[in-house]
A and B are shown apart, each in its own frame.
Chain A
Amino acid sequence: MSAKSVGIINTTAPYGLSNGQESLDLALATANFGQEVSLFFIDDGVFQLVKYQQPIPEQGKNYSKTFPALTFYDIDNIYVCEQSLNARRLVLTDLCIEVIALPYEELSAHMMQLDHLMRF
């Protein structure tokens, strides 16, 4: 069976919602099963990638520690929305991993080429 290309879109900030943590679990599982995973961080989703996160246990697990391991799962297509970064006064050096920043028009073009999309 041929591998499918799967886009996982993150649109919410970490800790307030479980979305980021559960979408990361899904990304790792999907890659483990041999599919081509692309990650997208849009709107408040860009906050998930910010460096030096220090939540207390009641706020949730610091799953951002897992992001540097994505490359070992062959997840290297990690896209961030340029406008979303700018609107939140964030720059690439604020983020904990290397990503590809693109304007949202180009993100859409990338998404259009994928077999399946899931949004969290």
Chain B
Amino acid sequence: MAAFSLLVTHAPFEQQYAFSAYRFVRSALNLGHEIKGVFFYQAGVQNANRFQAGHSDEFDLYAAWVELGTQFAIPLNVCVTAANRRGVINKQDAIENSQQGFNLAEPFAEVGLGSLVELMQVSDRVIQF
């Protein structure tokens, strides 16, 4: 059995990448592999935006990530620099920047790029989507 981490660099909806990343995690877990964590970078940080409000007859990727994060305790790490540049901010950022709302919340966590390096160190493979 192998230890995987995922690097997600694309936003949901426009492109298939993030959906494929989610399916990879599910499949790997079903086959008994270990997922050390998912790291969201570049446009991938949009996966952590809880203000996504899609149609009810479409797959809700945000809810699916949240379920993965809570049910399987998989770290969902979001690069803080990439996220803040793209308007994805947590409660603390909102207070510091005098913003009324915030759209990044648990189980997603704001982290630095060093967190991706930590995932690289404990993973046999890092798969990018």
Contact = CB atoms under 8 A, between A and B. Distances in A.
B128 A25 contact: no
Interface residues of A, number: 19
Interface residues of B, number: 19
B66 interface: no
Interface stretch (A43-51, A78-86, A87-95, A111-119): A111-119
Nearest to B124: A115
B120 A116 contact: yes
Interface stretch (B47-55, B67-75, B91-99, B108-116): B108-116
B126 interface: yes
A25 B120 contact: no
Nearest to B85: A18
A10 B125 CA distance: 20
Contacts of B114: 29, 32-33
Contacts of B123: 116
Interface of B: 7, 9, 41-42, 81-82, 112-114, 116-118, 120-123, 125-126, 128
